[in-house]
Structure formats: C-alpha cells, structure tokens
Chains A and B, each alone.
Chain A
Amino acid sequence: MKAIVQIGLKPGVLDPQGRAIARSLSDLGFEEVTAARQGKVIELDLTGEDAGTAEQRVTEMCEKLLANTVIESYSVKIES
C-alpha cells in the first residue's frame, strides 16, 4: 500500500513563499491567481493489507513527526 500525506500551513498562518509564488505567476501574466499556498507531499510505502489500520497509523505518524500541528495541517490518503 501507499500513503500520500499532504502537509501545508494552516489557514491564517502567513505563507511568504506562497505569496511570492502568487506574485510571480501574476507577473507572468496569470492574472487569475489571487493567492498561493505552498506545502509538501510525502509518499510512504507501507506493508499490510488493511486501509483503515494504515490510515490510523499514518495519522499517528503525522501527529508525532510529519506535521507540526502548531502551524501545519495535514491530510492522509491511502492507495492500494
């Protein structure tokens, strides 16, 4: 199984990189971009068969290491 973990700054936490990206896109003529937020994606290869257990375990990984929940939120997707 594979887990796709998406991590980004929480809404309300200033993301200066996202702001710079939005400004750059706008400079390139993509004027429809009003805001950008930058995050990261972590792919995990997992052993085991049960998606429910995997989701629970990966959520625990996010809480313990992968995300800093003071500033970041995360989502977990399990793929077979």
Chain B
Amino acid sequence: MKTAVITFPASNCDRDARMALEKVTGRPAQMIWHRESEIPSDVDFVVIPGGFSYGDYLRCGAMAARSPIVKDLVEKANKGLPVAGFCNGFQILTETGLLPGALLMNQGLNFVCKPQKLRITNGNTRFTSGYGSTQEVVYPIAHHEGNYYADDATLNKLEKEGRVLFKYVGNPNGSARDIAGICNKAGNVFGMMPHPERAVDPLHGGTDGLNFFKSIIESI
C-alpha cells in the first residue's frame, strides 16, 4: 500500500493529508512536488490537498489542473487509480473534467470556516463503505469558493447514479441541492469541499474523517 499527496505552490493542507494517510496506512505517504511529471506507478491512492494552488490565479484550481503532474494523474485516474481531492483539490478535479460541475463563490460572499455536519447519501462506495450505519459526520470546512454548481441535467444524473456521496446538513455556501461531495462514474475519483483529513485525531476536535480514509484504503 503506497499513498501520495501532490503539493502545489500554496497548497496548505498537504501535510494534514499526509498525516491522515500515515495514520490509517501505518506507512509514510509520498509527497509529490508539482514540478514532477509522473505519479510513480506503484502509488495506489493519491490525495489532491486543499489550499490556494498557484495563488488561485485566473480561477481556483485552473492552473493546477493544467500542470504536467495533474495531466499524468488524469491519465492514471482514467485507468482506475483512486484519487480524492479536498477543498482546492475538489476545485482542481472539476477543472480537469474528472468530476462534473464547478465551484462558484459562496452565495453569502463570506469565507466560511467551521465544523460542518454532513449526511452520507451513499454509504455503498469505496469512499464511504467504512461508515456502516453512521449517517451523519462532522468535517471542518474552510472555503470561499465552495458553492457547487452544475446544470440540472448533470445534477439529476449524479443523484440518479448514486454519485452524490455527501450532502450538507444546513447548506453553508449555496451549493446546488446541498451537494458536498461527488464521485466520477467509475467510482474511483472523489471530491468534496469539506476536510476529512482535518478530522482524524481527537486534538482536531473529532475523528469522523478516519473512516473515509479507511474505506478507500481497504478497497484497494
């Protein structure tokens, strides 16, 4: 089992992600700098961390989505490599087209930063199976552009195919249909604005994020 985290200039949750992965796998996670051109072929799971990659220039995630390392990641994800993106990582995944839709500025125009209650809307996926009968979790949120948008046809399709894995309980940012986290059709690429990697230790204020990482790691 080998996991990796991609670090971009201005990523700021990369070490949180590494700590979460190491806690769950018991092995060091590889940190991949954005200037590298390939995800090593023995990596089993990649996290795209939160932050403000490339200073959020042009659009959040736009530059990162076109970097060489992400180009390689997209190719590998299309062949089945499991990938999860949190916060800016979710924005990057939508910019690559691996996940549908886009993240707009929060409806209230404010940066929101707080523990957020979420409902697991599909517990039968590689990213959520470890939650068993648990239906609600609390992960921290901290974002300004987290208002999930997609056209109605896309939203209908996501819901019908069970690709909405988490919904907000008390919508903090105006996201369409309270959607917090979605996966691709094949079920190996997942993105959400909340931060499960910041809820893996009692000192974080909660450990609800642990089962997220256990789920995907055990599925590999």
Q: Report if A70-B149 is in contact (Cβ < 8 Å); known contacts: A17-B109, A65-B66.
A: yes
Query: Is A13 a contact of B104 with CB atoms below 8 Å?
Result: yes
Which of B75-83, B94-102, B124-132, B212-220 lines the interface with chain A?
A: B94-102
Q: Report if A14-B109 is in contact (Cβ < 8 Å); known contacts: A65-B66, A66-B58, A68-B59.
A: no
Query: Is A70 a contact of B101 with CB atoms below 8 Å?
Result: yes
Of A9, A66, A70, which is within 8 A of B94 by CB? A70
**Alpha-carbon distance between A71 and B60 when the two chains are bound, in angstroms:** 13
B108 within 8 A of A: yes
Shortest Cβ gap from A72 to chain B (Å): 8
A55-80 to B contact mask, C-beta < 8 Å, 1/0: 00000000011101011000000000
Query: Is B62 a contact of A14 with CB atoms below 8 Å?
Result: no
Query: Is A16 a contact of B107 with CB atoms below 8 Å?
Result: yes
Query: Is A70 a contact of B107 with CB atoms below 8 Å?
Result: no
- For A, the interface residue count at a CB cutoff of 8 angstroms equals 12
B150 within 8 A of A: yes
A27-42 to B contact mask, C-beta < 8 Å, 1/0: 0000000000000000
Which chain A residues lie closer than 8 Å to B109 at the CB level?
A: 16-17, 20
Query: Is B58 a contact of A14 with CB atoms below 8 Å?
Result: no
Shortest Cβ gap from B67 to chain A (Å): 12
Q: Report if A71-B104 is in contact (Cβ < 8 Å); known contacts: A16-B109, A17-B109.
A: yes
How many residue pairs at the A-B interface have CB separations less than 8 Å? 35
Shortest Cβ gap from A22 to chain B (Å): 13
Which residues of B142-184 are within 8 A (CB) of A? 147, 149-150, 174
Interface magnitude class on chain B: 10 to 19
Which chain B residues lie closer than 8 Å to A70 at the CB level?
A: 94, 100-102, 149-150
B31 within 8 A of A: no
Query: Is B102 a contact of A16 with CB atoms below 8 Å?
Result: no
Which chain A residues lie closer than 8 Å to B105 at the CB level?
A: 16-17
Which chain A residues lie closer than 8 Å to B66 at the CB level?
A: 64-65
Which chain A residues lie closer than 8 Å to B94 at the CB level?
A: 70
Which chain A residues lie closer than 8 Å to B58 at the CB level?
A: 65-66
Q: Report if A14-B174 is in contact (Cβ < 8 Å); known contacts: A65-B66, A71-B102, A71-B149.
A: yes
Which chain B residues lie closer than 8 Å to A17 at the CB level?
A: 105, 109
Which residue of A has the minimal Cβ distance to B66?
A65
Q: Which residues of A contact B (CB under 8 A)?
A: 9, 13-14, 16-17, 20, 64-66, 68, 70-71
Q: Which residues of B contact A (CB under 8 A)?
A: 58-59, 62, 66, 94-95, 100-102, 104-109, 147, 149-150, 174
Which 9 interchain pairs have the tightest Cβ spacing?
A70-B102, A71-B102, A16-B109, A16-B107, A68-B102, A68-B59, A16-B105, A71-B149, A65-B66
Question: What are 9 of the A-B contact pairs (CB < 8 Å)?
Answer: A14-B149, A16-B105, A16-B108, A17-B105, A68-B59, A68-B62, A70-B94, A70-B102, A70-B150
